[in-house]
Every structure is written in C-alpha cells, then in structure tokens.
C-alpha cells in the first residue's frame, strides 16, 4: 500500500514564513513538519510515499530527494492549487489499488496509520481517522453513529458544536474516491471533505477513533505549541556537541533543540520550548522562552524573546524585547481571541536595538525596524519602520 501525502498547501495564515517555503517545511524541534510525518510512515509497512507538492516545491524536493530512510519518495505537482480533493486527484494514475492519504502538516503516531489501514482492509470501505479536541470549531467537526461518520462540517462558524470529534487527516481509500472528487464543482476548489459527502450519504464512511498524539499546525501560535510539545516529549536536548558552542555560564533547559554551528554566549538563559536553528548566534545575557529561531538568526546581547517565531537570516538588536503573552489577532478576516503569540518575524528582517515588539506583531520579510521604536500589528514586506 502506498501513501499519498498532501504537501502542496500555501499556508497563508503562516505568512510571511510561507512566502518562500511550503508550510510543511516549517521547523518544529529543528526538523521540518513534513519530516516528522514521513518518520511516522517509516514505522509502518508502507514503503512508498507520493508527495503532492505545489508552492515552493523545490524546498521539499531538494531536502528529501528520492527517499527518506527506507521510504521511497515520488513527487506529483499540483498546479494550480485547487483544494485537497484536487490535490489527491493528481495521484490517481499512481496509486493502483487501496492507499493511505494524509496531511503533510499534522504530526501523528504510526499506530494511527496502521489502525486506519486495518479498518479499511477489514471493511473494504473508505475510512478516516478522528480525534477529540477542546476546540473542534477549528477543524472539520465529525458526527458519528457508532463507527460510521454521519456528518462532517469543515471549520464551522460557531464555537458551539454538537461533537468534539474532528477530522484527524488520515484516510484509507480505494480508487472509487477519485470518482467522488470528479463529481464536485470543477469551477472552484475541490475539497476532499466535500467529496466524502458521497460516502457519508451512503453511510459507508468508517471512523477510527484516536486518542494519541495529534499535533496540527494551522496558525502561527500552533508552531510554538507543537515545538514545545515535541521538545517536552523528548526530555533531552537535541544538540550536536561537536558543532554547537555553548558557553559554560549559559543556562540551557534540558529539552532544547540546538542546531549545527550555533553559538550561545555567556549569561544567556534558554528556557522552555526553544528551538535554535543552524548557524544561529545568541548574544550574551539573552533570554529565550517558547521561541523558534530558524537558520542564520542573530540575537544580540541583552535581548528578550518570548513566544516568538524568528525567520531565517533575521537579526534582533541589543536589549530589544519581544513581549510574550495573550492577545487578539486577525488572520484572513477571522478574529482569534486570547492566543499566545509574542511575534512572528519574517526572513531577512533587521530589528535595531531597544525595540519593543508588542504581542501579536507580525513582521513581513525584508523589513527594517529602527532602534528605539515600538511596533504592533502587521508590518508589510520590505517596510521601514522609523522611530520618533
């Protein structure tokens, strides 16, 4: 059985980081999200993965090549990107008989994949995994009768739902799913969840309940939460002592990811939930907590960076503070209440010294923020924010 991994999405809610990289290539615990997905596949009987790629696909193809460990990898280009159903349809000529489909941006345990395959092979019916969550309205809410899916509502408008089961994004199908997708309106996006409506009406869509690890990255703060969860689960640093340099006076929490050639200067404090990418320099007296630093970042002395994602090749000046904490945030015309996000800072950004970055600030790629300023809200790509 082959696996089809949907990895073509743009990830607009994670702008500006997804301008130059696909969402599945964003790092958690210093590895791309997609690598964690493929890692789970290597622990099943699946030996071949078909990756559906689209926007910035070269990032995926150059990173993984034609294999990952013992997993053979092939690439199928979705162009243009017209939804998850359309993405799956691109694999029709490559899958043969029954196959597994899964999202490239949700981290799961291998046992879930095995359970979905087993149910499908037992019943010969289309099968999907479901899981419980405290905020089902963020996902596809699933209605059940026994083990049969009787309803599926994608991201309902109301927080009040009649079920706390959601679509876990792992499926097992026979080729009949492609006919269901083709029956959808071909003039707009073809969502896989819409195609499943055919099977729901026939009471044929089987559900596999799952209560293990299920981590989703949809919004910026999810990246911080997933990163922290993975690091806490590991319980130890992910560090190559031969290539990372950490001053003996620095305090680094045990569950921290530190990349190759990273340098941490004296009196720095690295607290919970921090991933430091390759070639990152963290100056003296810096404090980091719940932060994801991509490659080639520079944090100068005395800075405090909390609840923040920092894009590649970005520099944060001395004594600058990225304030952590809860805030309300608008993404794609949707208001998110009480989310924990100090800031999302893009690639190639230059932030001067003594800058204050207020909670919920999003800074576009190639922006410059002068010293002594205070910023909040959304700052567009290539902007120049001046003090005074």
- Residue-wise pLDDT for 289-324, tens only, equals 999 999 999 999 999 999 999 999 999 999 999 999
**Per-residue pLDDT for 231 more than 90?**
yes
pLDDT > 90: what percent of the chain? 73
Q: CA-to-CA distance for 146 and 102, rounded, in angstroms? A: 23
Q: Which of 87-91, 192-196, 235-239, 248-252 has the lowest mean pLDDT?
A: 235-239
> How confident is the model at residue 160, as a pLDDT?
61
> How confident is the model at residue 257, as a pLDDT?
92
Segment holding 100, helix H or strand E: strand 99-103
CA distances from 248 to 174, 255, 273, 284 (A): 57, 17, 21, 12
Yes or no: say if 301 and 317 are a contact pair by the CB < 8 Å rule.
Answer: no
Band of pLDDT at residue 333, cut at 50, 70 and 90? confident
Classify 41 as helix, strand or coil. Answer: helix
Spatial neighbors of 118 by CB under 8 A, at least 6 apart, are: none
Token match 């349809």: residue?
Answer: 89
285: number of Cβ within 10 Å: 18
> How confident is the model at residue 98, as a pLDDT?
93
Burial class from Cβ neighbours inside 10 Å (0-12, 13-18, 19+) for residue 388 reads exposed
Structure confidence by residue, pLDDT tens digits, 118-172: 999 999 999 999 998 877 777 778 888 889 999 888 766 556 667 788 999 999 9
Mean pLDDT across 359-369: 97
Q: Which domains does the chain have, with CATH numbers?
A: 2-216 (3.90.550.10), 220-385 (2.160.10.10)
State the pairing for strand pair 298-299/315-316.
parallel
Considering the entire predicted model, what is its pTM? 0.93
> How confident is the model at residue 96, as a pLDDT?
83
Structure confidence by residue, pLDDT tens digits, 26-62: 999 999 999 999 999 999 999 999 999 998 999 999 9
Across-strand partners of 345?
310, 363
Structure confidence by residue, pLDDT tens digits, 163-218: 788 999 999 999 999 999 998 876 677 889 888 988 998 889 999 998 878 898 98
> How confident is the model at residue 388, as a pLDDT?
61
For residues 161 and 240, which has the higher predicted lDDT (pLDDT)? 161
Q: CA-to-CA distance for 72 and 92, rounded, in angstroms? A: 18
> How confident is the model at residue 239, as a pLDDT?
58
> How confident is the model at residue 82, as a pLDDT?
86
What value does the mean pLDDT of the chain take?
Answer: 91
Q: Which of 9-13, 37-41, 113-117, 352-356 has the lowest mean pLDDT?
A: 9-13
Mean pLDDT across 107-116: 93
């Amino acid at each position: 059985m082959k696996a089809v991994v949907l990895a073509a999405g743009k990830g607009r809610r994670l702008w500006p980081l997804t301008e130059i990289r696909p969402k599945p290539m964003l790092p958690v615990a210093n590895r791309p999200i997609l690598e964690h997905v493929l890692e789970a596949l290597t622990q099943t009987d699946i030996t071949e993965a078909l990756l559906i790629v689209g926007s910035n696909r070269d990032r995926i193809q150059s990173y993984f090549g034609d294999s990952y460990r013992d997993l053979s990898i092939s690439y199928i280009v979705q162009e243009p990107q017209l939804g998850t159903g359309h993405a799956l349809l691109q694999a029709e000529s490559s899958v043969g008989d029954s196959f597994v489909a899964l999202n490239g941006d949700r981290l799961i345990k291998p046992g879930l994949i095995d359970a979905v395959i087993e149910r499908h092979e037992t019943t010969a019916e289309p099968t999907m995994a479901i899981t419980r969550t405290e905020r089902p309205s963020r996902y596809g809410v699933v209605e059940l009768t026994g083990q049969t899916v009787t309803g599926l509502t994608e991201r309902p408008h109301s927080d009040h739902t009649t079920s706390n089961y959601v679509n876990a994004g792992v499926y097992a199908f026979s080729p009949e799913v492609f006919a269901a997708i083709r029956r959808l309106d071909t003039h707009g996006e073809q969502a896989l969840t819409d195609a499943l409506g055919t099977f729901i009406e026939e009471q044929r869509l089987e559900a596999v309940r799952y209560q293990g690890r299920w981590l989703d990255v949809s919004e910026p703060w999810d990246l911080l939460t997933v990163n922290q969860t993975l690091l806490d689960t590991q319980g130890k640093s992910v560090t190559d002592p031969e290539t990372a340099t950490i001053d003996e006076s620095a305090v680094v929490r045990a569950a921290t990811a530190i990349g190759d050639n990273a340098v941490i200067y004296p009196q720095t404090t690295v607290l919970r939930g921090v991933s430091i990418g390759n070639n990152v320099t963290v100056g003296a007296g810096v404090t980091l907590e719940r932060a994801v630093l991509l490659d080639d970042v520079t944090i100068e002395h005395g800075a405090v960076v909390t609840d923040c994602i920092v894009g590649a090749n970005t520099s944060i000046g001395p004594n600058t503070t990225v304030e952590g904490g809860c805030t309300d945030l608008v993404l794609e015309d949707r208001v998110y209440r009480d989310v924990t996000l100090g800031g999302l800072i893009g690639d190639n950004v230059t932030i001067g010294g003594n800058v204050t970055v207020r909670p919920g600030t999003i800074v576009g790629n190639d922006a410059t923020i002068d010293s002594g300023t205070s910023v909040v809200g959304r700052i567009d790509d290539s902007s120049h924010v001046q003090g005074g």
